[in-house]
Structure 1
Amino acid sequence: MTTPSLNQLARDLVSRRATLGETIPVLSRAEVLAASDAALLSVPGFRRLHAERWDPALPEPGDLTALPEGSLGSCYARYMAHYRLSPDFFPIQSRLGPDATPTQYAVHRLNKCHDVFHVLGSYETSDADEVAVQSFVFGLAPAALALFLAEAAVHPDIVTERYKHLHDIYSSHLQAQDFERGVAAVSLLGERFESLMEQPLHVLRRRLGISERTPSLLGHQGENSCAGFTSLPFFTAARAV
């Protein structure tokens, strides 16, 4: 019997509405991680990022407020201020040494750029949209997300109130629509977002193949149980961002 491909494994998990926690043992096997490494290195731009261990600091949101309205950086700055967020929220350690595999490096990129992905995909910080954005990331790099979840699960801070909705997503079901958005936008894994803050957001979304969210989901309002702050939605039809 042949081993299912990484793509098939991911789609099978989505089709049976597996929880995010259930992806960990399926996608953490050595042969799956090897398939993930190969898949990531085929993404345009990613091989060079991995070879360089590209890792400049993300610009501080406060330093981006003067960028043109509608740019990635301007929207990112307003988003972070709206939700009172700071970079490097998630509690995992980066592995960027010379022995970091492509999948391990992807975990670092997914972690570091998490709020950038929220902005690109029009995802709020609500508990519901955290599941949605993780499903989007699962479409981008399923084994890397599973590795991230496995590492976060054993971090001592995961049980604190600050990370409640991160802890809760392990029992949440993968969302098929957001998974498919991620599959279509896989090229964003090869992007250097730290250098793209002046780019128009709508142009980046189009170039990266990020489809618009369903109108009924855009601006989804709900509780944000992480970090103890809940706000009205940032992405609404009126803001058109």
Structure 2
Amino acid sequence: MSRSLNELARDLTRRRATLGEIISPLSTPELLAASDAALLAVPGFRQLHAERWDPPLPEPEALAKLPAGTLGNCYARYMEHYRLFPDFFPIQAKLGADATPTQYAVHRLNKCHDFIHVLGAYETSDADEVAVESFVFGVAPVALASFLAEAAVHPDIQRDRYKHLRDIYSGHIQAEDFERGVAAAALLGERFETLWEEPLESLRRRLGLSARAPEHLGQTGVNSCGGYTSLPFFHPIQRT
């Protein structure tokens, strides 16, 4: 992040702004330009943006057959555990030739949302959804604000299935998760769709993704995502 963008994001975090409150201050033309420049400086992202990298996801059954502990295996089991499916959020990808780096980052963060849950050991509880968006705020604050702004006015957001999404706007940015995201900003330059066989723990280390505090791991909680609640996936005794 540029210095001014970094300072603004940290100030909003210190003030415990809600995720809904970040939209307006991070939507100015100046900060959108700063976001584009910051993203293009992330190793690997410039080429991804130039290619508009957007490969299809493999079938979950194929990923589930990968060795235990790999990104693909953990991702497949996580999706099955919570009965999730890709492309959950109600926004359209901006992948045309005129897509700005920030618009492309919105698409990547949207598509990779469940990868980030797995990488960061975030459950799908309402509390952890605020935590994972706080993490994304550290990775790419303007892209997150753009996503939230776009999702807020999407005609489908009032559907029952998106209560989980509507509720995060009133969630306060979590400082610990924000700092984890700042440290792991390089993840936006990764081609995750080629890393299914990489061990999850080594990928976390390579991305500079620190472990979550033990008290946050494996907690049960309300999960309104799709109306389904399950026991935690990242159990503190048997961590994935």
TM-score, length-scaled by structure 2: 0.98
Give the corresponding residue for 2:138. Answer: 139
Give the corresponding residue for 1:118. Answer: 117
> Is 1:161–1:226's contact at 8 Å kept on the other side of the alignment?
no
> Is 1:140–1:185's contact at 8 Å kept on the other side of the alignment?
yes
Unmatched segments (≥5 aa) in structure 1: none
For 1:169 and 1:106, the matched residues in 2 are separated by 20
Give the corresponding residue for 1:61. Answer: 60
Q: Does 1:128 align with 2:127?
A: yes
Runs of 4+ in 1 over 2 A off after TM superposition: none
Give the corresponding residue for 2:210. Answer: 211
Work out the percentage of aligned pairs sharing the same amino acid.
74
Unmatched segments (≥5 aa) in structure 2: none
For 1:70 and 1:58, the matched residues in 2 are separated by 19
For 1:237 and 1:224, the matched residues in 2 are separated by 19
Q: Give the SS at the match of 2:20.
A: coil
Give the corresponding residue for 1:99. Answer: 98
Give the corresponding residue for 1:176. Answer: 175
Give the corresponding residue for 1:17. Answer: 16
Q: Give the SS at the match of 1:97.
A: coil
Give the corresponding residue for 1:28. Answer: 27
Shift of 1:221: 1.1
For 1:60 and 1:28, the matched residues in 2 are separated by 37
For 2:219 and 2:175, the matched residues in 1 are separated by 17
Give the corresponding residue for 1:46. Answer: 45
Shift of 1:238: 2.7
Pairwise CA RMSD: 1.1
Q: Which amino acid aligns with 2:211?
A: E
Q: Which amino acid aligns with 1:80?
A: M
Give the corresponding residue for 2:70. Answer: 71
> Is 1:95–1:108's contact at 8 Å kept on the other side of the alignment?
yes
Give the corresponding residue for 2:219. Answer: 220
Per-residue deviation, residues 25-62 of structure 1 (Å, max 9, x unmatched): 00011100000000000000000000110000122322
How many equivalent residue pairs? 239
Q: Which amino acid aligns with 1:53?
A: R
